[in-house]
């Protein structure tokens, strides 16, 4: 009996110890992640079905998945989300009359330089054809950057209706509009007698007007077919098309790396992954339509021809960067910017895609977190829980599809705006970085503290006038005179002095931890990043080499809002900044300052010494003699922290800095020569061991890198200083969301009586996916959109899962006959609502 009691006691003690060890464990659930790449989608899906891979990290089309044999599908679990979008990008050079490009001694006529021709493309195509025939019904016609059905998008999508865009298009109108625009151009003095219609085709200087369409051949079930369809449609308007069917890398080199003035392309078939689940879309307005974002033709690259739209830039910057007083002003600016983008139609959207992300059902202990608006993402990798190997390790195997057979589609540049310009690399490094401030939660789309938390967030503003009498927003929060701000001209931190005010303020507490080279993250890292950003977005004289025009264009609007920082004795940082928003958490998250110097919007960062060494390669040159750059300008070579040549130059630069005991002036008050030398030594050791310099701070670090681009290994960050345990984020994300299973509207609604809309609603357990009929705790609303504004009607609970919302007869009586947009939303609390737009026809 005593032996039995002793055995029980020992067993309980062992269990307690194991539990304590598990509780103390830091980092993600899995120990390793293997990323590989295949050149065939069917093989990727087969590997997942057979358990050779756990995840196919690719937004597969529904018709491809549905075509698989039933026994293959039965072994897989599908994460189905509306995360993919298709758009068309046009080269508008020179975007003014006489619409010609002179290249290599020859002059070409560019129809897409005429705004009316670009705009007509919205009518020339049938978006319904793309959805039904190419996507197999798994998608929706799309007219703006706002993915239909996602929160916060219906106001944007109404603009398409305002312009008369329809799902089926209007081919006759489009051809006539293009013909009229070309005819007007032919009457210009510079083009008279040169541009003319001969038979079915337009010609210039005696040759057919021919345009080059870059069509993605590596998406054979999607963009290849849509590109061919669009080319056929354009030729109906009398414009010949050269179909350049190429993979992503070849297309990218021409349209993204090249100068639009070189006139090497006219149209590119784009596709986008959502990137996040969003409640607000102002930054996507900027990204997809505004030149300042760097994603329009020219990319804001110095010495390139760049598309310009000053009004669109101003409105989108103000909306994205909180330069308004009321929420109405916010919407007015964001919607007007979108309208200008649609009018210019340099980029036009055609369809959203219901994306299928496939996993091996048997390999997972439970479902991963995923974005309700963007599917499998970095949070999926960070929360994945697979069954262990024989040695007890948990290894997650992720496969991706690329017809080039490489995971490396763009430079791994952790500074320049062109770095990490592809989904393949972002899937990898996204799991390796923590932003230090906040993130948009995948299940709620809300701004959520990450490695920083905020308190005492305040906003005080009022309307005012600038010196020229223009209306501006005036901040009323005094910035302490001894708050500091970096001055790039003198390379010093200066006190802001008296009389400075800001819109908002907030105080931030950081979870520091260590970099992947085991060096501590400190206040020096935060201050280095801020100084670097101000240094590289300001050109202090013609001889200033520490400047990049693309970097400035992308960073200035977001960082000019910062008025000063106070470093508090308790280790917190108070920031003063010019930003306002309807969401207080969005204000709080915006005021946090990062360890990130990356010029794009993703949450990527590397240790300060890596950034500094890369900067010195750009400004001073490297051992190899290569002309390094932070941009994809073909006159230079973009830095790349996994490229062997760049890595060798980077390592040599770190050795130089170590030997000199070099400390950047911007952090001299927080970093001693001894700690700087220790940082350099740790990074050199990391590079020697792991053959890369992506030294970040997240739950995974990059271990083995296959330079052929076919394989990368991630290793769990088990450093005791890492702030999060394996169960932290799975617990944080576990929640309940609503799902609109169906919405029933009257086929025709009479103005003489009320209109009743019913909805079937389920409550879904996130992320496991189990569902049950919603009860009265769910809130359903119906929004009627009219020319005079919006009216919201609260739905009534009828029975399990059944709700109705009624537009009263009195309101119906005030409507004119015609079509109206209605939006049905369901929500519990604190999560992204389910949204279903529809059309109500009134007679």
Using one digit for the tens of pLDDT, what is the confidence trace for 66-117? 999 999 999 999 999 988 899 999 999 999 999 999 999 999 999 999 999 9
Q: What is the pLDDT of residue 14?
A: 44
> Of the ranges 368-377, 611-620, 828-837, which is most confident?
611-620
Question: CA nearest 324: which of 439, 197, 230, 463?
Answer: 463
Token code pair at residue 660:
């000199």
Query: What tens digit of pLDDT does each residue of 149-185 get?
Result: 787 888 898 898 889 899 999 999 999 999 999 999 9
Q: How far apart are CA 684 and CA 694, in angstroms?
A: 12
Q: What is the mean pLDDT of residues 381-397?
A: 97
Give residue 342's pLDDT band: very low, low, confident or very high (50, 70, 90).
very high
Q: How far apart are CA 65 and CA 171, in angstroms?
A: 32
Share of the chain above pLDDT 90, in %: 81
What distance lies between CA 775 and its chain's CA centroid? 35
Question: How many other C-beta atoms are found inside a 10 Å radius of the C-beta of residue 90?
Answer: 26
Q: Which residue has the higher pLDDT, 303 or 667?
A: 667
Cα-based torsion angle of the residue sequence 305, 306, 309, 315 in order, rounded to the nearest 10 degrees: -160
What is the Rg, in whole angstroms, of the alpha carbon atoms belonging to the chain?
Answer: 28
Give residue 697's pLDDT band: very low, low, confident or very high (50, 70, 90).
very high
Q: What is the pLDDT of residue 23?
A: 52
Share of the chain above pLDDT 70, in %: 97
Q: Which residue has the higher pLDDT, 492 or 147?
A: 492
Helix (H, G, I), strand (E, B) or coil at 629: strand
Token code pair at residue 290:
């505004």
Pairing of strands 504-510, 452-459: antiparallel
Question: CA nearest 546: which of 682, 665, 668?
Answer: 665
Burial category of 9 from C-beta neighbours within 10 Å (exposed 0-12, middle 13-18, buried 19 and up): exposed
pTM value is: 0.87
Give residue 601's pLDDT band: very low, low, confident or very high (50, 70, 90).
confident
Q: What is the pLDDT of residue 11?
A: 41
Query: What tens digit of pLDDT does each residue of 537-559 get?
Result: 999 999 999 999 999 998 999 99
Q: What is the mean pLDDT of residues 184-198?
A: 96
Q: What is the pLDDT of residue 177?
A: 98
Q: Is the pLDDT of residue 10 over 70?
A: no
**All structural domains of the chain:** 83-353 (3.10.105.10), 423-730 (no CATH), 734-842 (2.60.40.10)
Burial category of 635 from C-beta neighbours within 10 Å (exposed 0-12, middle 13-18, buried 19 and up): exposed
Question: How many other C-beta atoms are found inside a 10 Å radius of the C-beta of residue 541?
Answer: 7
Query: What tens digit of pLDDT does each residue of 204-213 get?
Result: 999 999 999 9
Q: What is the mean pLDDT of residues 593-614?
A: 93
């Amino acid at each position: 009996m005593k032996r039995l009691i002793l055995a029980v006691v020992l067993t309980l003690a062992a269990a307690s110890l194991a539990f304590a060890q598990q509780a103390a464990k830091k980092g993600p659930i899995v120990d390793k992640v293997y990323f590989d790449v295949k050149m065939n989608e069917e093989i990727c899906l087969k590997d997942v079905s057979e358990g050779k891979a756990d995840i196919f990290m690719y937004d597969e089309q529904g018709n491809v998945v549905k075509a698989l044999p039933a026994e293959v599908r039965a072994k897989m679990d599908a994460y189905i989300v509306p995360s993919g979008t298709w758009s068309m990008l046009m080269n508008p050079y020179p975007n003014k009359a006489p619409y010609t490009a002179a290249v290599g001694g020859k002059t070409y006529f560019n129809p897409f330089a005429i705004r009316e021709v670009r705009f007509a493309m919205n009518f020339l195509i049938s978006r319904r054809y793309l959805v039904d025939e190419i996507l197999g019904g798994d998608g929706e016609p799309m007219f703006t950057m706002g993915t239909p059905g996602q929160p916060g998008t219906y106001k944007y999508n109404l603009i398409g209706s305002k312009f008369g865009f329809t799902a089926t298009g209007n081919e006759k109108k489009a051809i006539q509009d293009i013909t009229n625009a070309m005819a007007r151009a032919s009457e210009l003095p510079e083009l008279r007698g040169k541009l003319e219609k001969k038979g079915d085709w337009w010609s210039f200087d005696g040759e057919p007007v021919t345009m080059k369409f870059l069509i993605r051949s590596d998406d054979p079930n999607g963009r290849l077919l849509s590109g061919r369809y669009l080319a056929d449609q354009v030729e109906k308007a009398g414009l010949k098309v050269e179909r350049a069917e190429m993979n992503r890398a070849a297309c990218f080199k021409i349209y993204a790396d090249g100068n639009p003035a070189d006139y090497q392309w006219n149209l590119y078939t784009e596709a986008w992954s959502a990137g996040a689940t969003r409640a607000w879309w102002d930054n996507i307005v900027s990204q997809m339509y505004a030149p300042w974002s760097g994603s329009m033709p020219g990319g804001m690259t110095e010495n390139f021809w760049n598309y310009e739209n000053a009004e669109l830039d101003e409105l989108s910057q103000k909306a994205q960067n909180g330069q308004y007083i009321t929420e109405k002003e916010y919407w007015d600016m964001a919607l007007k910017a979108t309208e200008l983008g649609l009018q210019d139609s340099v980029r036009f959207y055609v369809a959203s895609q219901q994306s299928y992300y496939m996993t091996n059902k048997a390999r997972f202990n439970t479902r991963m977190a995923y974005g309700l608006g963007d599917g499998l993402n970095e949070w999926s990798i960070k929360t994945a829980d697979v069954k262990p190997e024989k040695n007890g390790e948990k290894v997650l195997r992720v496969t991706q599809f690329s017809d080039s057979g490489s995971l490396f589609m763009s430079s791994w540049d952790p500074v320049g705006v062109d770095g990490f310009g592809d989904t393949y690399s972002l899937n990898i490094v996204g799991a390796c970085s923590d932003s230090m401030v906040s993130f948009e939660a995948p299940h709620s789309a809300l701004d959520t503290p990450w490695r920083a938390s905020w308190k005492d967030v305040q906003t005080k503003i009022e309307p005012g006038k600038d010196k020229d009498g223009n209306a501006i927003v005036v901040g009323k929060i005094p910035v302490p005179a001894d708050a500091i701000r970096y001055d790039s001209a003198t390379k010093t931190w200066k006190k802001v002095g008296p009389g400075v005010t800001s819109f908002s303020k907030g105080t931030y507490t950081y979870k520091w931890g260590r970099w992947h080279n085991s060096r501590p993250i400190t206040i020096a890292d935060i201050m280095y990043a801020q100084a670097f950003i101000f240094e590289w977005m300001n050109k202090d004289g013609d001889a200033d080499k520490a400047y990049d025009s693309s970097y400035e264009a992308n960073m200035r609007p977001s960082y000019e809002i910062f008025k000063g920082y106070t470093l508090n004795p308790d280790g917190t940082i108070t920031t003063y900044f010019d930003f306002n928003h309807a969401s207080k958490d969005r204000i709080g998250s915006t005021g946090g300052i990062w360890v990130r110097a990356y010029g794009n919007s993703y949450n990527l960062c590397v240790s300060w010494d890596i950034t500094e060494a890369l900067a010195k390669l750009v400004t001073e040159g490297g051992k190899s003699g290569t002309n390094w750059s932070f941009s994809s300008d073909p006159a230079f070579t973009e830095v790349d922290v996994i490229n062997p040549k760049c890595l060798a130059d980077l390592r040599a630069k770190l050795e130089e800095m170590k030997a000199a005991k070099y400390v950047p002036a911007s952090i001299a008050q927080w970093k001693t020569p001894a700690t700087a030398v220790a940082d350099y030594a740790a990074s050199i050791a990391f590079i020697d061991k792991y053959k890369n310099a992506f030294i970040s701070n997240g739950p995974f670090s990059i271990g083995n890198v296959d330079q052929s681009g076919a394989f990368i290994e991630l290793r769990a960050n088990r450093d005791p200083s890492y702030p999060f345990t394996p169960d932290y984020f799975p617990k944080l994300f576990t929640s309940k969301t609503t799902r609109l299973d169906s919405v029933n509207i009257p086929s025709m609604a009479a103005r003489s009586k009320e209109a009743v809309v019913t909805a079937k609603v389920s409550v879904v357990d996130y992320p496991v996916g189990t569902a049950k009929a919603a009860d009265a705790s769910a809130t359903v609303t119906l929004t009627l959109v009219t020319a005079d504004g919006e009216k919201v009607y609260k739905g009534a609970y009828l029975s399990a899962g059944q709700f109705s919302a009624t537009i009263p007869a009195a309101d119906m009586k005030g409507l004119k006959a015609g079509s109206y947009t209605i939006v049905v939303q369901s929500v519990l609390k604190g999560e992204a609502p389910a949204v279903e737009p529809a059309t109500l026809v009134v007679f």
